[in-house]
Amino acid sequence: MPSFVETYVQQLSDAIGFDVETLNYTLGLFLCYPLGMIMNMIPYGTMRHLFSFLLGAFLLQFTLGVQWIHQMITCVVAYSMFMVLPRKTCTMAVPVFVMAYCVLGHLHRQYINYLGWDLDFTGAQMVLTQKLYMLAYNLYDGECLAKGKDNRASKKCASFALKEMPSFIEFLGYNFCFASVLSGPAFEYSTYCGACDGSLMYDKDGKPKGKIPSNVWPTLRPFLISLLNLAVFVELGANFPLLDPSDPQKATPVILTAEFLSKPMVYRYLYMWVGLLCVRQKYYFAWMNAEGANNVWYAGFEGFDENGNAKGWENSSNVDIWSFETAPNLQTLTKEWNKKTSLWLTKYVYIRTNGSLMAVYAMSAFWHGCKSTCSLLEVRSYIENLTRLSRNFLEPRSNTLTHLLHFIVYPGYYLFFLSVPLLTFCERLAKKKISPYFSSEKWSLYGIAGMLTTSLFAEYMVAAFVFLALDRSIAAWKSFYFFGHIFPFVAYPVLMVLPSPAKKDKKE
């Protein structure tokens, strides 16, 4: 970054109270809008792919500095694998490589900044991981369909299948796409390519497939909402901190201090509920901002149906805030939060593992951060414990296994993602045995009860996702007497013995 730009950003940072990294990231997101306008003026074809790549690299340099070299290394290695290895092999080799690179990035960040939230390349790497993961299966699905193989998963994802490998410029343009490189969403290559080659809106003869809609409101609406999210995060979030603002890494979190724990449980829970709502605003801000930035150049446009009617603007939509905040069940909750990641897990994990829910949650936890909870100062003690482990694997006086657990994972993510299935199993049984007796309308009495119950348990579970460390996560749940775990353990066997409602005979 030029020195005069650094000076200006530093002055602006001092004036508004944002740290330089956060300000660079925020400015980078806003820069996507004028860049999107420029993209609209570039002719369809290779120039758009080149522009997408160069501007994406520029934004990464602007926000992260030279760390964007990690994205380039990942892309070069992955592209080489695509060119050399068989398509079937790539569905294993590429995902393993990109996930391993992402995990190592998470681990490195935790070594140098235990429980810290400093901006680094891992956020952009997570988006890139999804894109390359999807590409591996897109190419394999294309091969399966071309050869007429009876592959159920490939047929389900046929609309995203690729018959041939993109050129290197097209490949870089997709993976470095300026409008999604910082915060996503990681949409399919076919979606990106349609916006770059014009096939999204024009036929082979260059005629519009339908009446091309205006992009003004689809751009302006998410942009304005993102500004509101930013305001709520900055203003309201300052009044309901979950971590100690003076030292969030080392000091006891606000909601775990002795003073706070002395307050009534209802007050403490409501405080945490509002605090978590404020935390979500920063995600809403990034996703809504990115949605508008993609809609500027029609990358978010879904195209036309067979009758020439515009389908909508869901390609770049990553969250439906209202639907998420009023979700009547966990299925809706997970569907509306980080929607493109949810689709990625559904299409490339869930249906590829024959519907394994645990595989989905485990992959999600891994992707979010299979991170070490150790600091550099703790590494030596871990090595000493590992040495002791080799001498006496089950030495009772050693805390080796605990240290080893901390060394390998960031427990908060796993505690969250592996606890949610408890609620999901209960919800499925309740839907089968209780829901038929009540109205299915969202705003019915039963629907409202579902919203309150979903919010109650989801906010309890997600506390571990925010606190990350094992001791903080357990302490947060303990402060609420583990009700979010005790209830499903009690409810599940009760629901199991309840009789299922009789099926109504269909009248001919």
| Digit-coded pLDDT (tens) for 136-176 | 999 999 999 999 888 888 999 999 999 999 999 999 999 99
Among the candidates 366, 385, 406, a domain finishes at: 406
Domain that holds residue 390: 376-406
Q: What is the DSSP string of 417-479?
A: HHHHHHHHHHHHHHHHHTGGGS---TTSHHHHHHHHHHHHHHHHHHHHHHH-SHHHHHHHHHH
Among the candidates 206, 231, 250, a domain finishes at: 206
- Structure confidence at residue 440 (pLDDT): 80
- For residue 89, being part of any structural domain is answered with yes
| Digit-coded pLDDT (tens) for 325-366 | 999 988 888 888 889 998 999 999 999 988 887 788 778 877
Instruction: Identify whether the C-beta of residue 121 lies closer than 8 Å to the C-beta of residue 25.
Output: no
Check whether 16 has a pLDDT greater than 50. yes
Instruction: Identify whether the C-beta of residue 127 lies closer than 8 Å to the C-beta of residue 107.
Output: no
- Structure confidence at residue 377 (pLDDT): 33
- The CA-based angle 148-151-153, given to 5 degrees, is 135
- Structure confidence at residue 500 (pLDDT): 83
- Structure confidence at residue 112 (pLDDT): 63
Count of the separate structural domains present in the chain: 2
Alpha-carbon distance 321 to 77, whole Å? 37
Residues 222-234 have a mean pLDDT of: 93
- Structure confidence at residue 397 (pLDDT): 40
Residues 464-486 have a mean pLDDT of: 89
Instruction: Identify whether the C-beta of residue 19 lies closer than 8 Å to the C-beta of residue 277.
Output: no
Alpha-carbon distance 154 to 156, whole Å? 5
- For residue 434, being part of any structural domain is answered with no
| 3-class DSSP state of 18 | coil
- For residue 388, being part of any structural domain is answered with yes
Q: What percent of the chain has pLDDT over 90?
A: 52
Residue 333 CA neighbour count, 13 Å, CB half: 21
- For residue 232, being part of any structural domain is answered with no
- For residue 309, being part of any structural domain is answered with no
Q: How sure is the predictor about 471, in pLDDT bands with cuts at 50, 70 and 90?
A: confident
- For residue 488, being part of any structural domain is answered with no
| Digit-coded pLDDT (tens) for 399-442 | 444 444 444 456 777 788 778 888 888 888 988 888 888 888 88
- For residue 75, being part of any structural domain is answered with yes
- For residue 446, being part of any structural domain is answered with no
Among the candidates 167, 189, 206, a domain finishes at: 206
Q: Residue 114, Cβ neighbours under 10 Å: how many?
A: 19
Rounded to two decimals, what is the model's pTM? 0.84
